[in-house]
Amino acid sequence: MMSLILFDFDGVLADTLGDLLQFGQEACNELGIIHTATQEDINALEVMSFATYGKQMGVPHFLADEFVRRCLTKFSAKKSPPKIFKDMDRVLQKLSTKHSIGIITGNSAAVVKSFLAAHGVAEFVRVIYGVNEPGTKVEKILRAQNQLAAESKSVWMIGDSGSDIRAAKEASVQSIAVSWGHQSAEVLTRAEPDYLVHSPEELLKVIDRRLEWK
Q: What is the pLDDT of residues 24-80, one digit of tens each?
A: 999 999 999 999 999 999 999 988 899 999 999 999 999 999 999 999 999 999 889
Structural domain count of the chain: 2
Interval 168-191: pLDDT, tens = 999 999 999 999 999 999 999 999
Residues 87 and 135 placed together within one structural domain of the fold: yes
Query: What residues make up the domain containing 59?
Result: 17-77
Residues 51 and 121 placed together within one structural domain of the fold: no
CA distance 136 to 97: 29
**The pLDDT of residue 152 is above 60:** no
Residues 93 and 70 placed together within one structural domain of the fold: no
Q: Is residue 32 part of a domain?
A: yes
Closest CA to 60 of 70, 47, 51, 73: 51
Q: What is the pTM of this model?
A: 0.90
Residues 104 and 36 placed together within one structural domain of the fold: no
The pLDDT assigned to 151 comes to 58
Question: Hey, which bits of the chain come out as E strands?
Answer: 3-7, 14-15, 83-84, 100-104, 127-129, 154-159, 174-178, 195-197
Q: Is residue 24 part of a domain?
A: yes
Interval 78-104: pLDDT, tens = 889 999 999 999 999 999 999 999 999
3-state secondary structure of 143: helix
Residues 101 and 145 placed together within one structural domain of the fold: yes
